[in-house]
Amino acid sequence: MRLDLSRLRCRFRFSLAAIVFAALFAAASTPLDAQTGAVSMDGAKSGQMASAQPGAPLASEPATASVSVAGGTIDIRYNTPHMRGRKIMGALVPYGQVWRTGANPATTLITSVPLKFGTLLVPAGTHTLYSLPSADTWQLILNNQTGQWGLIYDQKMDLGRIPMKAKPLTAPQEVMSLSFENSTPTSTELHIRWETTDRYVTITAP
């Protein structure tokens, strides 16, 4: 009888230890499990991020637009969003709100010489490019804050705003683009194209 009681006590202690260990393991695992549902910098949940394999192309690929004008160069660095079957202007890109004019980080414009964007004198250096779209008119915005994420915008840092002109775009353009066109030694046009929108501003030597 004493032997049976000893065995029962041992089994009881073993079971109790197993229960305590399991409880501690579950508590320790909870914070790690919670992190798997965290939100990334671009707003995607980690479950969505898991589908992206290392080395896979970005959803909005980086691009550069460059031109030589007025004895210097202009370089624009941006990321290229796609339509992917979505309505863009007035929907994904709301009218009446400042738009990053690209995707992901803020769109960066670097000019090696002073230039005039429309009537706005832009000094040499690095600036951030935004736009303010509407159904009828667009404005190009040059801002002195640099290095920020594209959704960050401080109007107090604006260098200025320039009215943009429009050209017809007969067929929808899948991938948003920034390009320099109709360039001469002293002038060029900066175009924003996406969906059926083509807006541009003339850049000239001061």
The pLDDT value recorded for residue 35 is 26
Every domain of the chain and the residues it spans:
1-34, 61-204
The pLDDT assigned to 173 comes to 98
**What is the spatial distance between Cα 146 and Cα 100, in angstroms, rounded to a whole number?**
12
Confidence of residue 13 (pLDDT cuts 50, 70, 90): low
Over residues 150-165, mean pLDDT? 98
Q: For the whole model, what pTM was predicted?
A: 0.73
- pLDDT digits 0-9 by tens, 33-51: 222 222 222 323 223 333 3
Give residue for tokens 């508590």. Answer: 27
Alpha helices in the chain (DSSP H): 2-35, 46-49
pLDDT at 134: 97
- In this structure, the number of other CB atoms found within 10 A of the CB of residue 5 comes to 9
Q: What pLDDT is stored for residue 120 in this prediction?
A: 98
What pairing do the DSSP bridges indicate for beta strands 138-143 and 125-133? antiparallel
pLDDT at residue 136 greater than cutoff 80? yes
Q: What is the pLDDT of residue 141?
A: 98
